Every structure is written in C-alpha cells, then in structure tokens.
Amino acid sequence: MTMDKDQALHDVMELLHEIRNTDPERRYFESITTAKGRRVYEVSPLEHAQSMAESAEDLLGDAFNLD
C-alpha cells in the first residue's frame, strides 16, 4: 500500500499528539471486528499509547516503504 507521504506525516503527528496527551487517569477503549460482530474492550492508558505508536510506525513504514 503506497500512501501520500505528507498525509502519513500529518497522521503520525496527530497520533504523537494523542500519545503525548494520554491521561493515566482516563479509561480507554478499543474495538475489534470479528465474524460475530464488533467487540469493545477496555485497555490501560499504556496499552492505548502503545497501540497508537504501533499505528504511527505502520503509517511511516507504508509511506516510506520501510520494512
């Protein structure tokens, strides 16, 4: 998947902003979609930040063909 580099950098900056503002007192939720439907579950603030960091890595990898 090739993505516009400017858009990828913009999206990564938004993710970094959210990671920086992760509140240890806040409740975070993530969702997954399976064959049986959508499931929402609570994650820790650390897991939330790690998930966003992984997304940022994926965006940069796709945009700049990094493996």
Whether residue 1 has pLDDT greater than 60: no
| φ, ψ (nearest 5 deg) of residue 39 | -125, 130
Whether residue 9 has pLDDT greater than 50: yes
- 26: which DSSP letter? S
Band of residue 65 on the pLDDT scale cut at 50, 70, 90: confident
User: What's the whole-number mean pLDDT along residues 35-57?
Assistant: 95
Question: What b/e sequence results for 46-60 when a residue is b if at least 16 CB atoms lie within 10 Å of its CB, and e otherwise?
Answer: eebbeebeeebeebb
Contacts of 16 (CB under 8 A, 6+ apart): 56
* Mean pLDDT of the chain, nearest integer: 92
- Residue 60's pLDDT is 92
C-alpha–C-alpha distance, residues 19 and 2, integer Å? 25
